[in-house]
Structure 1
Amino acid sequence: MERLNLIFELLPSNRSGSARGLTIAELEAKLGDQSEIEIPHRRSLQRDLQVLVREDRVVVLGTAKGDLPRYQRVEEPFEIEEPVWNYLLQHLKRDLEGMVSAGQLSKILNRLKLKDEGLDLGEDKICILPDSLRLQPAQIDYQVFANVLRALADGAALRVRYIDRLGKASEPVLHPLGVMQRGPRVYLCAMKNDEQDERMYALDRMRSAECLPISARQKSDFDFNRQIAEGRVDFANGQQITLKATVRGYVEQLLYDCPMHDSQKLDPLETEEAGSLLTVTLPASGQLLRWILAGGGNIILMEPETLREVVVGQVKKMYDDYYFNDNS
């Protein structure tokens, strides 16, 4: 089955815009580039292709007298078109650039078999930019990362050497619950020693990680997806809020085209003032606060009052720092 699926993937698509398939010899050459599979005897390969043809997964071309048979894979209409697939691969590469170092990126692309295919549209034709300033990824020890993931998969406890942001070292026993990538940093969500509450530990602050021969304590009510949905992974308490704000300019148009949540409503202002009234229910989080502050004068927050006070406090502090504490 693995060989059949590999043959299917190696054949050109009937939706790629090219009528040319692969001959048996050309397919054998492509299989020769796949180090993880033994090249089958030609008769076996012919039988494999006959199976795929009977299953309507492959079509035979060039059946005229004297022509060598050529084979194409048959893709359903709902499958992703080749140009769109190439674009998505470019997006994947850009996302990976924000997660790993340049040295690791080439190894990952090679492992994914993306080094020489699917990336033929270069930066002179496609430009993909993040919607915020992209920081360079934090440097992590990949042996540490591997042990963290192994402990998580095996349900084992971990002893780590951890350096906090003040430079203080400790060696806690952690009971892993889940791993989260947030922006350029990777975090382990875990319970420490005998504590019952989970915390987030940055992997780039771990100098070593040892899988222990004891089972990790479990937390029966822990649900990583719920933690994410409630905003708890962004150093917030998961509180749901109904946000009301006046939005204008580029922010208004952006939210019309790209809603921030399914509950979003945008209504034109009743006054003649330009802009719309945004109403949306979502978790309070640091990410939300940063988005509001980044909008500047294009977002005027009205509710909830507690968040409005935080925004006003941040703006006032920035004003004071810029205009009253300027030593220049």
Structure 2
Amino acid sequence: MKQQTEILFRQIAMLRMIPRKGGITARQIHQLLADDGFSVDLRTVQRDLKTFTESGLFPLDVDESSKPHQWYWQTDAVIEIPTMSGSEALAFVMLDRHLQGVLPPNLLSSIQPHVQHAEKLLQQHKHQRLARWSEKIAMLPRAMRFLPAKVDHEIHANVIRALLDEKQLEVVYQPRAEGARQYVLNPLSLVVQDGVMFLVASANDYNDPLHFVLHRFKSAEVSTKAARIPPDFSLKQHLQSQAFDFPLQEKLIRLVAIFDRYGIYHLHETPLSEDQSLEAYAEGLEKLTATVMDTLALRRWLLGFGERVEILEPLELREEFAHSAAEMHAKYNPAESAAWGRAPCA
């Protein structure tokens, strides 16, 4: 019985692979079946295709003038194949795992039957290889990992709905160091960065896109008024401007720094900029030159190297790091701890 079930699933999968336009060969179907976890030889695939065509049960045609032969659905064929392939099942499971909180709740709810069916399908013998794929993939942040902030479910749902329906949001928002404020927001996009969700939106009568952290919303109600969306706003361009790296000025800077060679080996593979250059400086050291945005993220990245980096240019950045190093030295130097109003650590 199990063998008959697997044959049926395989044949349904084959029918789903046949296109309405163009055509597909038996060898191509055989490869797709293998990708989906089916173990079957090419001769069996060829026999099944011949049976499909000659039985008259399916409106299929075969182009025998091509070598090898190609199968396709007839132009006016009306037929639905009631299942999903192993690849489609895997896509549903991965989508459910990695896009929670980003897709609209009603959309997530509507695809749950498909997700549940996909999970069952992947657990069946024929798809065990694909089922194991989700256990082999992970996405991790490069920086320190933190527990995700708690976002009110109703607020999250309203933010998503306003973004989807292109409606204004009437919110009470708690900035980091100020009292709660009321805003009328025009939602533009949603960005997830290291587990934190940001709503990109313009506020009140202004057009400049700002970033609002979802877990700082005290309330959020969807307005009946249409959101004012600037025709020239592009999320792609907004991200390319490094807006989420917290720019400190609009102009680019020429960064020149001396690094421990092994500390920046990854920059040979993943450069900071298009014009980046790395050259030997002294034993065990390399000099980096790159044109970059002057951002808070850049400073945090450089500070992470500690004593293994020396900033040469720009001079303002070098002086800033020299001042930070002096302050750190004072904090860790027992003789100078009193200057910070505390006794030295034992």
Structure 1 length-normalised TM: 0.64
Q: What is residue 69 of structure 1 aligned with on the other side?
A: none
Q: What is residue 32 of structure 2 aligned with on the other side?
A: 13
Query: For the Cα contact (< 8 Å) 1:12–1:21, is it kept in 2?
Result: no
SS in 2 for 1:310: helix
SS in 1 for 2:172: strand
SS in 1 for 2:157: helix
Distance in 1 (alpha carbons) for counterparts of 2:140 and 2:173: 34
Q: What is residue 255 of structure 2 aligned with on the other side?
A: 243
Unaligned residue ranges in structure 2 (runs of 5+): 1-11, 19-28, 46-54, 64-68, 74-84, 103-107
Query: For the Cα contact (< 8 Å) 1:98–1:134, is it kept in 2?
Result: no
Larger radius of gyration: 2
Query: For the Cα contact (< 8 Å) 2:252–2:292, is it kept in 1?
Result: yes
Distance in 1 (alpha carbons) for counterparts of 2:246 and 2:156: 22
SS in 1 for 2:272: coil
Unaligned residue ranges in structure 1 (runs of 5+): 25-42, 57-72, 74-81
Q: How does 1:17-32 map to 2 (within 5 A)?
A: 19-20=39-40
Selected match of 2:286 from 269, 276, 280: 276
Offset, 1:226: 2.5
Higher helix share: 2
Using a 3 Å threshold, how does the CA distance of structure 1 residues 308 and 55 change in structure 2: closer, same or farther? farther
Q: How does 1:40-55 map to 2 (within 5 A)?
A: 47=59, 54-55=71-72
Using a 3 Å threshold, how does the CA distance of structure 1 residues 309 and 297 change in structure 2: closer, same or farther? same
Using a 3 Å threshold, how does the CA distance of structure 1 residues 45 and 303 change in structure 2: closer, same or farther? farther
Distance in 2 (alpha carbons) for counterparts of 1:91 and 1:298: 40
Offset, 1:292: 0.6
Q: What is residue 132 of structure 2 aligned with on the other side?
A: 120
Q: What is residue 145 of structure 1 aligned with on the other side?
A: 156
Q: What is residue 309 of structure 2 aligned with on the other side?
A: 299
Q: How does 1:174-193 map to 2 (within 5 A)?
A: 174-193=185-204
Query: For the Cα contact (< 8 Å) 2:278–2:287, is it kept in 1?
Result: yes
SS in 1 for 2:32: coil
* RMSD, aligned α-carbons: 4.7
Number of matched pairs: 273
SS in 1 for 2:132: coil
Query: For the Cα contact (< 8 Å) 2:167–2:226, is it kept in 1?
Result: yes
Using a 3 Å threshold, how does the CA distance of structure 1 residues 186 and 127 change in structure 2: closer, same or farther? closer
Q: Which amino acid aligns with 2:146?
A: L
SS in 2 for 1:319: helix
Distance in 1 (alpha carbons) for counterparts of 2:291 and 2:100: 32
Distance in 1 (alpha carbons) for counterparts of 2:285 and 2:297: 23
Using a 3 Å threshold, how does the CA distance of structure 1 residues 126 and 158 change in structure 2: closer, same or farther? closer
Offset, 1:307: 2.4
SS in 2 for 1:250: coil
Distance in 2 (alpha carbons) for counterparts of 1:45 and 1:152: 47
Offset, 1:129: 5.4
Identity level (%): 28
Distance in 2 (alpha carbons) for counterparts of 1:244 and 1:273: 18
Offset, 1:4: 8.3
